[in-house]
Amino acid sequence: MSKTEQKACPCGNPSYADCCQPYLEGKARPPDAVSLMRSRYTAYVLENEEYLRLTWAEENRPSGVIIEKKQPTKWIGLKILRDQEHEDRATVEFIASYKVNGRMQKLHEISRFVKEGSEWVYFDGTYF
C-alpha cells in the first residue's frame, strides 16, 4: 500500500500506521490517556483481546473473555467528548457507535486511566 493509499485508523484518524498500529503491535506505548483510549477502541474493532488485557490495570483486569463473539459487534465510530489528565490519573469521555444484529447502539462512557509505572492503563469506566 502506497503512502497515498494509507489505511484509515478505526479510531477515526486518517492513518492506522501513524496512529494506533505501533501501539497494537507493541512497538510503542501510548503517551497519554486519549491515545490509549483510541488504541483500545481500535483493539475492540480489530478484536485484539491481548492488547486490551495488556492495557488494563492489573487490579481490575478481567480474567475471562473480554470480547464476546456470540453476538458479533460492528464498530462504526468513536467520538471523544472531553478528556482531563492530572499527573498519574486521567479521564476520557467518549461515545462509541456500533451495531449488533443490524441495530445501531451507542456506548457512552467516562473511562478512568491511571499510570502503572510510566505507562497509562485503563482502570474502569462509568456508563451512561
Asked if 31 contacts 38 with a C-beta cutoff of 8 angstroms, the reply is no
Contact 60, 54 (CB under 8 A): no
DSSP 66: S
Please report the pLDDT score of residue 6 as a whole number: 83
Would you place residue 70 in the very low, low, confident or very high pLDDT band (cuts 50, 70, 90)?
confident
Mean pLDDT of the chain: 94
Residue 49 to residues 9, 28, 41, 92, 102, Cα–Cα distance (Å): 18, 17, 11, 21, 23
Domain ranges of the chain: 7-57+69-127
Higher pLDDT, 50 or 72: 50
pTM for the model: 0.93
Compute CA distances 73 → 18, 32, 41, 67, 68, whole Å: 25, 27, 12, 9, 9
The CATH class that applies to domain 7-57+69-127 reads: alpha beta
Give 17's pLDDT tier (boundaries 50, 70, 90): very high
- Count CB neighbours of 5 within 10 A: 6
